[in-house]
Amino acid sequence: MEAPFTADFFRRLQGLKIRSRRAFLGSRQGGHLSPKKGQGLEFADYRLYAPGDDFRHIDWGVYGRTDKLYVRQFQEEQELEISVFLDNSLSMSEPASKLGLAKEVAITLAIIGLTNGDTVRIFHGEQVEPLRFSGPQAIRRVWKKVMALKASESFEFSEEVLLAAAKSQRPGKVFLISDFLFPEDSCLKSLESLAARSFEIGLVQVLAPEEIAPPIEDSPSELNDLETEDKTVVSMNAKHRSLYENLLHAHLEVIENHCKNKGASYLLFQSDAKLGTEVLDKLLEKGVLN
Amino acid sequence: VFGLSFLNLPFLALAIALPVLVLAYFRKPRYKKRPVGSLFILKQLPESAELPKKLHFPLRLFLELLALALLVFAGLRPFFAESSNLVAVFLDDSMSMSARNSSGNSRLSELSKNFSVDDQIASAKFHLYQGSGSLETPSEELSLSELKERIREVAPTNFADKAGLKASKLLANKSYQKVIIISDQESLSENERLQVISSSADSGMEELANLYLLSPKKSKKENKLKISAKIHLSQTARLASESVSPTVRLLAYKAGGQTIELSQKKVEVRGLSEDIKFIVASNTLEDVDAFQIKLEAPLGVNSIQADDSLWLLAKSDTLDKQLIVSPDFASLKRSGLENLKGFNFTLLSPEEYAGQDLSPYSWAIFHKFTPSSFPAISSFFILPPEGNSLFPVRTSEDSISFAAYKASHPLNRYLKPWLLDGSPAAILNPPAWTEKTIEAEAGPVVLTGESGVYRFVASGLELLPFEGESSPLSSVLFLNSLAWIRAEASINEYRSTGSILSKDEAPETLVGLRGESLKPGELIRSPGPYSSNGKLNFIANSIFPSESDTAPKKYLGLDTSAEAPEATKDRNADLWRVALLLALAVLCADFLIRIFRSHEPA
């Protein structure tokens, strides 16, 4: 694999885990606590002994105090289903660094998940069914598949998220990676739909430096929206830039508030951020990883 | 306008950039186009579509046009032609001005008598220029009376006058309030700064004056020597149906400058030409080096006196070989050109010509082959237009275009261009502008012409063998040209040179009849015998093609080679700098506006 997925980077990933605040039911054994009781290390509860229960689980101390047989119950550790919605629509292709960083973040999350025995599903615009991976052996395949993704003309990010949420049978951890430069309502709908299905959401917003602070230009430019093919003429002078920054700030604030309300983590990355340092640090800082 | 004149008028062509700039401005896309990922936020900004159209475009375009106009103005090198109290008087003192009318007055004196000036400039100071002098050195400042006095003292001299060219140079000199030309040349048209005092009104004098002596021959007959020549009359004189009766004198020239008159006769010239013959006893010709035939017209009407005297060398000339260099030399050989009577041709291919010693040859013909440099001997170029680096010609498609010819010119009388039926005309006397290309009088005979803005020289004659009456007309022209070059080559023992001069190797200084000395290679302008170390070398029969040459009026004022005097340039030296500085200032303003607009609030 090529930079930034170097040996040093993988060493940094060792011991990292995608943190879920809630327990989710998995389909097989894994590294995350699940609501299912059974084999495990984490004590969950007591219940009255019933014939057939394993004698080894009888808590003899409780029996001494209450004269009743209670058996100890444990929370089962199961795999976590991680869904990554990678926005590879045309809007992420200008500048190309946006989609680049989005893909790198998606791969990083997938690597961490796969290393810990989780199942990773990656939704993107090039095919209807998500890519599904499990087990550490799938790491190289993830890298290859995701890195090969190109900007797709037909990808409607919010709709895809809504559709996937509707079809999902088992909740889990979900990451939405996009520039979120579309109306806040769509974003809110996506979040609501996922929250209603009990998903734990991480929202990763990737913006280019020139989208955060556009350079001042001496003459008006005709700007062409790659996705919608809309056009507008903008004179990015000092005043317009200030106005733009205010509008962007308000937009980001709305998204962040939606995330807070829905219990989702919110992360904003500049597309020129370094994956091995700035991105990982922020994922840890925001509690997405532990 | 505002008294402004320009030194570098062709720079005005750059003004074409002005509409180009406007066009480019309109054709330029109004905005830079740039793709963006999303317009979601950007669309909420106020749209700036109308902004540049209404405010930015005209001001910056105006500034840039202004800057360009100022640059063009600076390049034109403007100066104020300050009102000057100086008047230039150009006096044509060439030989043609010595023609006399029925009262015996010369043309020069008649014109001097007619010389008058407007009251406006009567009190001005005058600079007198003479055709025989240089334009660099005018006379001292003269008052009108002094000027008239000075003009009366001037006597015509023999030189290649080029009055038209000199007049145009004087006109280009903006420090003169007025230029007055006193000349017999007709084509000098007047303009507001030019006054021409010409002899055109004096028709009785002008045309009868053109008498030429041509075709000198000498042959031995028993113990007598026969010397013959032709007298030619001008066309107008013929039309006048007036016979002219000049006196022809035969003189013998002896070493040391002694001249003895052998014979004289009066000849009535009735038609186009008249033959004259002198027969003298051989025993009277001891020690004679050369013969001179002199023409003295009744009433002194000979205008071109240089042509009225012919010289014949009494001794034979060893340099009697001619060289033809042609890629077609084989076919020329087959056609018998080498056996042409009266010539002694050597035919060479261009390859053989390289490194050839030219000293044995009296002159050379270059046919369809352009030597890399002008040969050291008199040469006749018969060149195709293609690959012709010596003489720029128009394009290969151009047919020969003969612009004009003077039928009365001696050279044209030999060449008979009118034999080229269907061709318009020919100038075979190279006009002044060809001098930059070729020193015409030094030898080469060139065809010249003009068409539109192009001028061409030396194009188109075909070198064809003479085939008697069935010869193509062009070959007749060619043979006539040869005859002129050789100035009657059929007499083997004599050589007269026409105006093909300075051909001998003689490194020594040559001394002319009047004791004038000529350095090697220097052009001979006076006819007569020339000797070196006391030994007679050759005879020069000067026929000055340029004597009758008139600069067409369109040359006047268009000669860009004429520089305004330094004084005028100095006076206004800063004007173009000011324009340049202004242009830079405007460009700076344009740049500042560009910067300012990038930061201004919308």
- Among A131-135, A196-200, B110-114, B334-338, the least confident range: B334-338
The 10s digit of each residue's pLDDT in B561-570 is 333 333 344 4
Q: Do B52 and A240 touch (CB under 8 A)?
A: no
Most confident segment among A246-250, B94-98, B140-144, B186-190 = A246-250
Q: How confident is the model at residue A199 (pLDDT cuts 50, 70, 90)?
A: confident
Res. B44: pLDDT tops 70: yes
Residue among B46, B47, B598 whose CB faces A218 most closely? B598
Residue B302: which pLDDT band, with cuts at 50, 70 and 90?
very low
Alpha-carbon separation of residue A104 from A6, A125, A148, A210 (angstroms):
12, 16, 12, 20
Q: Which stretch of A98-112, A181-195, B192-206 has the lowest confidence by average pLDDT? A: B192-206
- pLDDT tops 50 at residue A4: yes
Count CB pairs under 8 A between chains A and B: 110
Identify the DSSP state of A18: B
> Is there a contact between A234 and B42 if contact means CB atoms under 8 Å apart?
yes
Asked if ipTM goes beyond 0.90, one says no
For position A235, what pLDDT does the model report?
83
Residue B473 pLDDT more than 60?
no
Q: What is the mean pLDDT of residues B531-537?
A: 60
pLDDT of residue A108: 92
Share of chain A above pLDDT 90, in %: 20
A205: pLDDT strictly greater than 90: yes
Nearest CA in chain B to A237: B599
What pLDDT score does B273 carry? 65
Q: Where are the beta strands (DSSP E) in B234-354?
A: 247-254, 258-266, 273-281, 288-296, 309-313, 321-325, 345-348
Within 8 A by CB and 6+ apart from B109, the residues are B152
Of the pLDDT bands very low, low, confident and very high (cuts 50, 70, 90), residue A245 is very high
Q: What is the pLDDT of residue B438?
A: 33
**Would you call A93 an interface residue with chain B, using a CB distance cutoff of 8 Å?**
yes
Evaluate whether A270 touches A102 at the Cβ level (below 8 Å).
no
Which residues of chain B are within 8 Å of residue A254 when distances are taken between CB atoms? none
CB contact under 8 A, A225 and B38: yes
pLDDT surpasses 90 at A266: yes
Indicate the helix (H) or strand (E) that contains A161: helix A157-167
Nearest CB neighbour to B40, from listed A182, A237, A239: A182
In this structure, of A17-31, A133-147, B204-218, B490-504, the range with the lowest mean pLDDT score is B490-504
User: Which of B178-182, B269-273, B291-295, B339-343 has maximum average pLDDT?
Assistant: B178-182
| DSSP run (H or E) holding B264 | strand B258-266
Scanning B416-522, the segments in alpha helix (DSSP H) are 473-486
Q: Is the pLDDT score of B96 beyond 50?
A: yes
Quick check: B237 pLDDT over 70?
no
Q: Hunting for tokens 């009433």 — which residue is that?
A: B299
Q: How far apart (Å, rounded) are the C-alpha atoms in residues A50 and A70?
A: 9
Q: Shortest CB distance from B36 goes to which of A224, A233, A251?
A: A224
The continuous run of DSSP H or E covering B80 comes out as: strand B78-80
Please determine, for residue A221, whether its predicted confidence score (pLDDT) is greater than 70. yes
Put simply, the answer to whether B45 touches A244 (Cβ < 8 Å) is yes
Cross-chain residue pair A239–B34, CB shorter than 8 Å = no
Q: Strand, helix or coil at A136?
A: helix
Q: The pTM is what?
A: 0.41
Which whole number is the average pLDDT over B143-160? 77
> In this predicted structure, what is the pLDDT of residue B204?
40
Longest dimension (CA), chain B: 122
B103 in Cβ contact with B300 (< 8 Å): no
DSSP-assigned states of every residue in B512-528: ETTS-EE-TTPPP-S-E
Chain A residues whose beta carbon lies within 8 Å of the beta carbon of residue B56: 219
CA angle at residue B37 from B33 to B41, to 5 degrees? 95
Q: What is the pLDDT of residue A185?
A: 87
Residue A47 one-letter amino acid: R
